[in-house]
Amino acid sequence: MSPSNDVAYLPILSFMSFMSFMVRFLTWKRRLRSRAMRWLRPAAVRGNPRYPRLARTSQNVEESVPWAVCWSPVSNRSIAGRWSAMNILVELRKRFAAALAPLVDDTAELVQMVRRSQDARFGDYQANCAMPLAKQLKKPPRDVAAQILASLDVDDLCQPPEIAGPGFINLRIKDDWLAVKLNVAVTDPRLGVAVADDPRTFVIDYSSVNVAKPMHVGHIRSTVIGDSLYRTLKFLGHRVIGDNHLGDWGTQFGMIIYGYRHFANEAAYREQPVEELARGYRTVNALVSYHTGRQQAEVLRKQLADDQAAVERQAAVANTGDAKADKQAAKALRELQSAADKTQSEVQSVLGKLSEVENDPQLAPLIDQHPDIAEAVLAETAKLHEGDADNLRLWREFLPACLEEIDDIYRRLGVTFDHTLGESFYHDRLAKVVEDLKQSGIATDSDGAVCVFLPGETAPMIVRKKDGAFLYATTDLATIQYRMDEWQPNAILYVVDHRQSMHFSHLFAAARLWGYRDVELTHVSFGTVLGENGRPFVTRAGDTVGLRGLLDEAVRRALKIVTENDEAKPDGPELTAEQRRRVAEVVGVAALKYADLSHNRTSDYVFSYDKMLATGGNTATYMQYAYARVQNIFARGGVDIESLRSSGARIELTEPEERALAIELLRFPEALELMVEDYRPNQLTSYLFDQVANRYSSFYEKCPVLKADNPQQRDSRLLLCDLTARTLQLGLELLGIETIEKM
Ligand code: ARG
């Protein structure tokens, strides 16, 4: 911008800064007001007032995690201090931004091209920005690289950078610099991870199970991925609100109510309410599927008759003698035949499912007794939503039992929420939401229903059905409104199955139309858990697999591994039966969680106990052993590691394996950034495994610790071991995985 331009822009600039001040001021005021409101309301209202028993108040991770005390934004400054923060990549990018600024207007994209090197032979980091910049400047890339280096100030941090190949800049961090930073980390509870300069507010919608049936394997993903994001974002200094958007109000309650009224055994219900309700639910579900299957079979049969008629018609077409026309006719026949075959196999599959029910001695007699069960279930749900006293009473009676069941699983998984505002919480707001959408011209009446027509979408999003019923989408819009009013988040993350991606893209588009434009709305989607046969994981009977059973089995197998391992110890077993049991619970639960987290969330993965509990490879079990082995070194050497940390003993890097481990330990902040960048916990698991645990193994093989050459070297190596263990522990903690001192 030239000076004369500068002057011309002055009024605009001052207007803009005034506006930005006003926006900040208003946001601050709104926040303050909403905070005040929150504290003025009675605690029970903060939970879901509809819930009869469990008016759940906020549960914070801070209550349970040891590092919480040291990472609140205030205490961080006083204890560890910002000065100790080190994110090498961020630092390097800052330096590159400064060096690039005289050459281009916008350095942002180029700066992103500074990355860690894939191959250690080319240094620790690599900058590939000279090539694209050379194109812009129309100069040879190596010259541009040299030009960048001329103004790049990294002397304190790196050895003299090298230009390689067509213009790559290779950077190698100085060993002294690494050592200095490591020695700071030795006494830093945050291990050098900075608290966000510009903290954002995140609402995370996770777990969000439909409570009418026991949790199954499909629920593990949202629960553990959401929990790990919650922990990590919070650790990075953001304000994070965990909200379990329970499905506590949907059709499944109509099913349970119907099931209870018609199929429940009173004694069994009193003994084990959830199991009995679930049994009723399964019966209702099977019968509903049966009757809809019958209708579907009818439709398919007609379709098949049409398909076959079309095949016959085509087959009757006589040859014309024209090779091209005959070839086309043959092709048409083949296509019609294959369509008919497809319909045939669909008919077969539907009939197969029908006959399963017909041959089931318990279900068969019920088929004719409940011909209109599908409609009846919908009617029960509708009655509940209209406030029918009986159905509301049953709902109030069933809900606590359902919640207790899932709470028990959450306890075992070590997962907590700040809020549990299920769908029922929003029911009273839905009519108002629809009115609001209509008034602002976003929703319109269409055939008696109320719809939002979204730009670029053929099908509209229905927010109220003809019969007056509201939908899942309506509740989600009300939820967005509530969250925005209540917490003013910068981002709302929905950790939900990929099959709902269409729902979320419509929801987000509607929310934007409604005026929520400045909030990041992200569907953190994930794939399916598969059985060993590569198909969705179900029991032999075709039911989904209960989560409780999976946890029990994982713990049972973990106990076997822990026991064998303990018995194989050179100096004899170390653990009591009770200790083994406790270790097995931690190991089993962790194995299941870690297996989920370590897969790229968008892919499906195969559920395998053997793989998840393997003591070698990228598993929780391996990582937990790695951690415990380090503790074992301290025990064997009679080392009081806490005193050593504060003794002034220093880490010195002499062997290549020490250095290789050291730089990875200092890359912990980078791994966390990578994880939250696109909400992928597997970025952290692979860092912990590929970088930390593996480098540690090589280090431990090459560098004697307790038998080091001299006391300084021994202390230095003990501190490296300690930093490794603490990185593993903190990293695992952020994933929601516990470590154990002795296994
Ligand atoms: N209860 C829903 C289900 O099990 C998931 C809810 C996800 N969260 C949301 N705000 N829609 O399919």
pLDDT in tens, 308-321: 999 999 999 888 88
Parallel/antiparallel/unpaired status of strands 201-205 and 239-243: parallel
210 lines ligand 1 (CB under 6 A): yes
> What CATH number is associated with residue 157?
3.30.1360.70
Question: For residue 80, is pLDDT > 50?
Answer: no
Q: Which residues pair with 525 in a beta bridge?
A: 496
206 lines ligand 1 (CB under 6 A): no
Q: What residue's CA is closest to ligand 1, atom 5?
A: 208
Q: Hey, CA dihedral for 723, 728, 734, 739, is it positive or negative?
A: negative
Q: Which residues contact 118 (CB under 8 A, 6 or more apart)?
A: none
Residue 520 lies in a domain: no
E strands present in 168-238? 168-171, 201-205
Q: What residue's CA is closest to ligand 1, atom 6?
A: 208
Mutational test site, ligand 1, from 500, 501, 505, 544, max ligand atoms within 8 Å of CB: 500
- Structure-block tokens of residue 80: 């560890």
Three-state DSSP class for residue 198 = coil
User: By C-alpha distance, which of 536, 674, 531, 692 is closest to 618?
Assistant: 692
* 197 CA to centre of ligand 1 in angstroms: 32
**End-of-domain residue from the set 385, 415, 447:** 385
Instruction: Dump pLDDT digits (tens) for 194-213.
Output: 999 899 999 999 999 988 77
Same domain (yes/no): 27, 140: no
- Structure-block tokens of residue 365: 């007699």
Q: What pLDDT does 212 receive?
A: 78
Residue 323 lies in a domain: yes
* 224 CA to centre of ligand 1 in angstroms: 15
Residue 505 lies in a domain: no
Mutational test site, ligand 1, from 420, 496, 504, max ligand atoms within 8 Å of CB: 496
Q: What pLDDT does 433 receive?
A: 98
* 429 CA to centre of ligand 1 in angstroms: 18
On whether the CB atoms of residues 207 and 222 are closer than 8 A, the answer is yes
Reported confidence tier of residue 541, pLDDT bands at 50, 70, 90: low
On whether the CB atoms of residues 618 and 737 are closer than 8 A, the answer is no
CA distance 558 to 579: 13
Alpha helices, DSSP H only, in 440-598? 472-487, 501-514, 547-567, 577-597
On whether the CB atoms of residues 272 and 449 are closer than 8 A, the answer is no
- The full DSSP string for 545-566 is PBHHHHHHHHHHHHHHHHHHHH
Going by the DSSP 8-state scheme, the letter that residue 536 receives in this structure is B
Q: What pLDDT does 233 receive?
A: 98
Among the atoms of ligand 1, which is closest to the Cα of residue 250?
A: 1
pLDDT above 90 covers a percentage of the chain that reads: 78
More confident residue, 57 or 602: 602
207 lines ligand 1 (CB under 6 A): no
CA distance 127 to 131: 10
504 lines ligand 1 (CB under 6 A): no
CA distance 556 to 736: 21
Question: For residue 306, is pLDDT > 90?
Answer: yes
496 lines ligand 1 (CB under 6 A): yes
Residue 375 lies in a domain: yes
Q: What pLDDT does 12 receive?
A: 52
Same domain (yes/no): 371, 278: yes
476 lines ligand 1 (CB under 6 A): yes
More confident residue, 20 or 34: 20
Among the atoms of ligand 1, which is closest to the Cα of residue 219?
A: 4
* 423 CA to centre of ligand 1 in angstroms: 9
Parallel/antiparallel/unpaired status of strands 449-452 and 461-464: antiparallel
- Quote the pTM value: 0.82
Q: How far is CA 163 from the centre of its chain?
A: 40
On whether the CB atoms of residues 495 and 222 are closer than 8 A, the answer is yes
Region at 648 (left for phi over 0; alpha for psi -120 to 50; beta for the rest)? left
> If residue 521 lies in a helix (H) or strand (E), which one and from where to where?
strand 520-526
On whether the CB atoms of residues 666 and 182 are closer than 8 A, the answer is yes
Q: What pLDDT does 552 receive?
A: 95
Same domain (yes/no): 261, 375: yes
* 566 CA to centre of ligand 1 in angstroms: 43
Question: For residue 62, is pLDDT > 50?
Answer: no
Among the atoms of ligand 1, which is closest to the Cα of residue 500?
A: 12
pLDDT above 70 covers a percentage of the chain that reads: 88
CA distance 739 to 743: 10
**End-of-domain residue from the set 129, 146, 172:** 172
* 223 CA to centre of ligand 1 in angstroms: 12
Place of tokens 């914070």: 60
> If residue 354 lies in a helix (H) or strand (E), which one and from where to where?
helix 323-358
Residue range 361-383: average pLDDT?
Answer: 95
Residue 346 lies in a domain: yes
Three-state DSSP class for residue 606 = strand
590 lines ligand 1 (CB under 6 A): no
Residue 122 lies in a domain: yes
494 lines ligand 1 (CB under 6 A): yes
Residue 166 lies in a domain: yes
Three-state DSSP class for residue 571 = coil
Mutational test site, ligand 1, from 207, 208, 241, 526, max ligand atoms within 8 Å of CB: 208
Residue range 423-431: average pLDDT?
Answer: 96
Residue range 391-417: average pLDDT?
Answer: 94
CA distance 184 to 178: 10
Same domain (yes/no): 22, 65: no
Question: For residue 216, is pLDDT > 90?
Answer: no
Reported confidence tier of residue 86, pLDDT bands at 50, 70, 90: confident
Q: Which of 36-50, 73-87, 310-324, 513-527 has the highest mean pLDDT?
A: 513-527
Three-state DSSP class for residue 573 = coil
Mean pLDDT of the chain: 88
Residue 604 CB burial class (10 angstroms; 0-12, 13-18, ≥19): middle
Residue range 354-380: average pLDDT?
Answer: 95
Same domain (yes/no): 65, 167: yes
* 494 CA to centre of ligand 1 in angstroms: 8
Same domain (yes/no): 273, 294: yes
User: Helix count (H) and strand count (E) of the chain?
Assistant: 30, 13
Question: For residue 354, is pLDDT > 80?
Answer: yes
Same domain (yes/no): 138, 57: yes
Lowest-pLDDT range of 258-272, 410-424, 525-539, 569-583? 525-539
Q: What pLDDT does 30 receive?
A: 53
Same domain (yes/no): 321, 291: yes
Residue 152 CB burial class (10 angstroms; 0-12, 13-18, ≥19): buried
On whether the CB atoms of residues 721 and 695 are closer than 8 A, the answer is no
Same domain (yes/no): 98, 19: no
Reported confidence tier of residue 518, pLDDT bands at 50, 70, 90: very high
Same domain (yes/no): 263, 356: yes
**End-of-domain residue from the set 344, 370, 385:** 385
Same domain (yes/no): 26, 101: no
Residue range 465-493: average pLDDT?
Answer: 96
243 lines ligand 1 (CB under 6 A): no
213 lines ligand 1 (CB under 6 A): no
Residue 132 CB burial class (10 angstroms; 0-12, 13-18, ≥19): middle
* 23 CA to centre of ligand 1 in angstroms: 33
Q: What pLDDT does 218 receive?
A: 83
Question: For residue 32, is pLDDT > 80?
Answer: no
Residue 605 lies in a domain: no
245 lines ligand 1 (CB under 6 A): yes
Mutational test site, ligand 1, from 217, 221, 245, 522, max ligand atoms within 8 Å of CB: 245
Same domain (yes/no): 265, 295: yes
Reported confidence tier of residue 534, pLDDT bands at 50, 70, 90: confident
* 471 CA to centre of ligand 1 in angstroms: 12
205 lines ligand 1 (CB under 6 A): yes
Q: Which residues contact 631 (CB under 8 A, 6 or more apart)?
A: 725, 741, 742
On whether the CB atoms of residues 210 and 244 are closer than 8 A, the answer is no
Q: Which residues contact 372 (CB under 8 A, 6 or more apart)?
A: 291
Q: What residue's CA is closest to ligand 1, atom 11?
A: 476
Q: What residue's CA is closest to ligand 1, atom 1?
A: 247
Instruction: Dump pLDDT digits (tens) for 641-690.
Output: 999 999 999 999 999 999 999 999 999 999 999 999 999 999 999 999 99
- Name residue 171's amino acid: L
Structural domain count, the chain? 3
Q: What pLDDT does 214 receive?
A: 76
Domain that residue 34 falls in: 3-40
